[in-house]
Structure 1
Amino acid sequence: MEQYAFASITELARSLALSNVTAESLTTFFLNRIANLNPVLHAFVCVFPEQALAQARQSDERRQQGKALGMLDGIPLGIKDLCDIEGTITTCGSRQWETRISSGTADVVQRLQAHGAVIIGKTHTVEFAFGGWGTNPLQGTPRNPWDRNLHRVPGGSSSGSGVAVAAGLVPGALGTDTGGSVRIPAALNGITGLKTTVGLVNADGVFPLSRKLDSVGPMTRTADDAALLLQALTHAPGQEVQSVMYPGCDQADQLAGMRICVLPEEDYGVPVQRAVRLGLRDMARMVDMAGATIIREAPPFNFQQAMSDCGKLIAAEGWRVHRDYIQDPDMLFGPFVRDRLMSGKSISDMQYQDLLEAHQKMQAVWTQWMADKDALMLPTTPSSAIPLAQVDESVTPLGTFTRFVNWVKGCALALPAGFDQTNLPVSVQLTGKAGDEAKLLHIGSTIQSLTAWHSYTPVVG
């Protein structure tokens, strides 16, 4: 069974279809891995063994009757602990909410279950999803699996989902992204993460941070797996859809006709680790080999300013979500997240409206600039994962290249792009206009057909 630990969803689906493994045995295998490794990795906040095994048995029964619901039927998945599941606790990463029982089930969970996926448990998150390092001082910070000797940051806020997929505890998981919260943990943990366009995936039942910026997206090993989950999150089983699946192949002209912009290094605006720069150059060569036209140009805005403005909108909206209790000193909230949410109190209603107008204007600027481009390629994070002990919670360097995508209401795909000198993963991202997910997934799948970075796995256990 060990060969299934780091298999892709697509590979697992093939094994299930060929009866090489049952959903029940596969679920049991991943439950055992979680039981053995989660005490150290801290990826899952809770696990549902009885419910998961029952769902797996139902999947096996359907398959025996020739009624499998598709490629996700019988696949174990993790769900970020912002998503309600009726009758279970949804803490949103908060010690204060560790008895908060959900009265309903999030639409995204219902959709995955409708496709036969096995919901194995909930993954840790930064408290209220407000933080890029992935830290959670009260519930505990998940451990980046790429360093067995030193506790390094997992990236946030979808920290547990990133660690769970990277460590082979599940083949896929859901995250949310308000300023980089899918892409940052995907980058630091060496997996693939898709930030979807706001509104593409129904967020009903997912606790909000910023309703204007929040999105739900898949975290997987490959772009093809991300496409598979996206299809399930946006369409009913058997529904006729335009294909978002792009199986990898090595055709030299697979990206012919595409124009991919690569951000020039002189326009980074911040120091970027050498391994990240080299990874980006390597990925640019891959799309060139696949027939795309490479152009080099910087967007018509400043990344630091976009990051700052996006952060202000997150704080303003987060304050409006949490203001009834976040100021109460008797409630058990983490100090850094409390401070971030409290900073939104100083943003007046007039300033908030100004931010919303600026947000809308930037969408138009981005759409116009991207009109003759299929994607912008740039780093996901400026560096690999740092030790937890070195984190400065007052700064957000990991969001330098991610927040602007939320600010312009785009979509983005983070892809593994190599390793630094200490064997920690680095990442690049493809960014696009609103609704360009299929295009980014096609480019990502092509890159992964020409590279092997996504197939490397950490030594755990």
Structure 2
Amino acid sequence: MSWIHRTAAEQAAALASGEVTSVELTQAHLDQIAATDGELHAFLHVDAEGALAQARASDERRKAGNPLHELDGVPIAIKDVLTTEGLPTTAGSRILEGWIPPYDGTVTAKIKAAGLPILGKTNMDEFAMGSSTENSAYGPTRNPWDHDRIPGGSGGGSAAAVGAFQAPLAIGSDTGGSIRQPGAMTGTVGVKPTYGSVSRYGVIALANSLDQLGPCTRTVLDSALLHELIGGHDPRDSTSVPNAVTGLADAARAGAARDLNGLRVGIVKELQGDAWNADVVERFDESVALLKEMGADVVEVSLPSFVHAMAAYYLILPAECSSNLAKFDAMRYGRRVTPEGSPSAEEVMKVSRDAGFGDEVKRRIIIGTYALSSGYYDAFYGQAQKIRTLIIEDFKKAFEQVDVLVSPTAPSTAWPIGEKADDPLAMYLQDLATIPANLAGVPGISIPSGLSSADGLPTGIQFLAPVLEDARLYRVGAALESALFEQWGGQITPAAYAPKGAN
């Protein structure tokens, strides 16, 4: 098995034992990117020179006996929504084309401080607006399982890079499911941490009260290791919680023993029904059966406000997006297009924003501005915030009955590129199960639940836990992952990228 097919934890162990060097690992992943990304387009920018320089520095530390972290020397990719000093950061938009930040976001700084070579920046829906990574101004990313299909969104670049073995680790951002939903569609693990437990400093904001950075990996343990690295309080983020992020890797290792005795699991009643494809439900039911076999007590719970979650989300998110993106006015920030003659500031702003923003961004700005306008604020935005409060209360009541909640991650498997391009509502419905967690700030994890019997594509199962109880996700996620690995004969891997003899 080549090094790119090893998990991040296995790569870290090999680095520690001297079996491989960081330069060798990093070069192997760069070679995989060069060989496959012309078709996949998972990356917007690859920093081969910088990654290899960081890898050489890591090897020198290892040789001197001074590694900075357990993952020191393991390569990583970063979604292009997070600032990286000296590397382009565009958020998938033409309005930021060519922008090179003068500073690192907190998560970038933590990654560098731990010695992980940064391979580059991954593709995304423009300003993280989308469920397919088709809305990138620089072209769509393709799914490693089927290049004619979407990888999910908005973080499809990070998920595809991990799924295609271009990187063992990646950073994504989750505003309404943009780590978890791509994870389900690419057969990878995606985690949305508790809101505020991972710093948002340096994130190009879509919706401040919803955005959350998190890990994209191929195993639950790898996500736990990366989550512990990037988590923790940050005084530069006013929404950062004071709690430390610890014990996640221990929870994942304990969960792999498959003992779920005493764990109470709640199937969400409102996340069932006709909206879910039969093949997705089939894999979900099999996973629930495995949870029961491992000792979990599984019951159905009702969270009635979930039926209004999508409507509330698509008022709150556009409102915050309208406010956040107002700064890209061609005067202070962003691309400037100057019409002929002697245009006014307003004319420059209009032309620049028209040229710099894509259709989906314009759509959401218009909706958000309308929802915040005089005479409509209370009727739309105010009502949506009331629904949000009800959702939070429903979560609290549910977690008095169970330890974690479970549902399919997405209603369907990955669809063909362009299939939903003219139907935004159909696209939005793909986030049906993931949105409530962002509205309430609770943590969630998606792990692969198997392959669809209809099209052979990955499906995902999602677990949600109470605020700051992220460790529960790693325990139950690792337990189910271990059982599913046995059932499916190993990690669920796209055939074109699989190691010899793998599934």
TM-score (norm 2): 0.86
Whether 2:419 is the aligned partner of 1:387: answer no
Q: How far apart are the structure 2 equivalents of 1:446 and 1:145? A: 26
- Runs of 5+ in structure 2 lacking a partner? 234-243, 330-348, 498-503
Whether 2:403 is the aligned partner of 1:378: answer no
Whether 2:295 is the aligned partner of 1:295: answer no
Aligned partner of residue 328 in structure 1, secondary structure: helix
Q: CA deviation at 1:69?
A: 2.0
Mapping of 1:2-401 within 5 angstroms? 3-136=2-135, 138-148=137-147, 151-234=148-231, 242-245=246-249, 246-247=252-253, 251=257, 254-264=259-269, 268-303=272-307, 305-325=308-328, 328-329=350-351, 330-348=354-372, 350-351=377-378, 352-392=381-421, 393-395=423-425, 396-401=428-433
Q: How far apart are the structure 2 equivalents of 1:281 and 1:373? A: 18
Q: How far apart are the structure 2 equivalents of 1:72 and 1:157? A: 26
Conserved? CA contact 2:129–2:135, under 8 Å: no
Aligned partner of residue 413 in structure 2, secondary structure: coil
Q: How far apart are the structure 2 equivalents of 1:355 and 1:292? A: 35
Q: How far apart are the structure 1 equivalents of 2:113 and 2:35? A: 29
Q: CA deviation at 1:51?
A: 1.1
Tell me the residue number matched to 2:462.
429
Conserved? CA contact 1:133–1:398, under 8 Å: no
Q: Deviations over 1:238-268 (max 9, x none)?
A: xx9742112166645x21111001235x862
Query: Residues 14 and 324 (structure 1 numbering): CA distance in 2 closer, same or farther, change over 3 Å?
Result: closer
Q: How far apart are the structure 2 equivalents of 1:158 and 1:249? A: 27
Tell me the residue number matched to 1:414.
446
Q: How far apart are the structure 1 equivalents of 2:53 and 2:136? A: 34
Q: Deviations over 1:285-339 (max 9, x none)?
A: 2221221111122323233x10110121000000001135478344232112221
Q: How far apart are the structure 2 equivalents of 1:249 and 1:343? A: 44
Q: Deviations over 1:158-202 (max 9, x none)?
A: 110010000000001000011111111111111000011111100
Tell me the residue number matched to 2:435.
403
Structure 1 runs (4+) greater than 4 angstroms displaced = 248-252, 324-327
Q: Deviations over 1:415-434 (max 9, x none)?
A: 10011132110111001221
Which one-letter code corresponds to 2:418 in the other structure? A
Q: CA deviation at 1:113?
A: 1.5
Q: How far apart are the structure 2 equivalents of 1:343 and 1:323? A: 14
Query: Residues 199 and 65 (structure 1 numbering): CA distance in 2 closer, same or farther, change over 3 Å?
Result: same
Tell me the residue number matched to 1:458.
494
Q: How far apart are the structure 1 equivalents of 2:383 and 2:293? A: 44
Which one-letter code corresponds to 2:305 in the other structure? F
Conserved? CA contact 2:450–2:492, under 8 Å: no
Q: How far apart are the structure 1 equivalents of 2:293 and 2:306? A: 30
Q: Deviations over 1:339-376 (max 9, x none)?
A: 12221010126333443444244323311221221111
Which structure has the larger Rg over C-alpha atoms?
A: 2
Conserved? CA contact 1:88–1:102, under 8 Å: yes
Q: How far apart are the structure 2 equivalents of 1:353 and 1:308? A: 12
Which one-letter code corresponds to 1:442 in the other structure? R
Aligned partner of residue 495 in structure 2, secondary structure: coil
Conserved? CA contact 1:193–1:226, under 8 Å: yes
- Runs of 5+ in structure 1 lacking a partner? none
Q: What RMSD over aligned residues (CA atoms) do the two structures have, in Å?
A: 2.1
Q: How far apart are the structure 2 equivalents of 1:127 and 1:328? A: 19
Q: How far apart are the structure 2 equivalents of 1:333 and 1:242? A: 40
* Segment drifting more, 189-198 vs 280-289: 280-289
Which one-letter code corresponds to 2:301 in the other structure? E
Query: Residues 348 and 332 (structure 1 numbering): CA distance in 2 closer, same or farther, change over 3 Å?
Result: closer
Q: Deviations over 1:126-173 (max 9, x none)?
A: 00001112212531000001014xx11111111100100000000010
Conserved? CA contact 1:145–1:459, under 8 Å: no
Q: How far apart are the structure 2 equivalents of 1:324 and 1:451? A: 47
Q: Deviations over 1:64-109 (max 9, x none)?
A: 1111123210010000001111122110100221121201101001
Which one-letter code corresponds to 1:298 in the other structure? S
Query: Residues 353 and 154 (structure 1 numbering): CA distance in 2 closer, same or farther, change over 3 Å?
Result: same
Conserved? CA contact 1:182–1:217, under 8 Å: yes
Query: Residues 203 and 40 (structure 1 numbering): CA distance in 2 closer, same or farther, change over 3 Å?
Result: same
Which one-letter code corresponds to 1:261 in the other structure? G
Report the identity percentage: 33
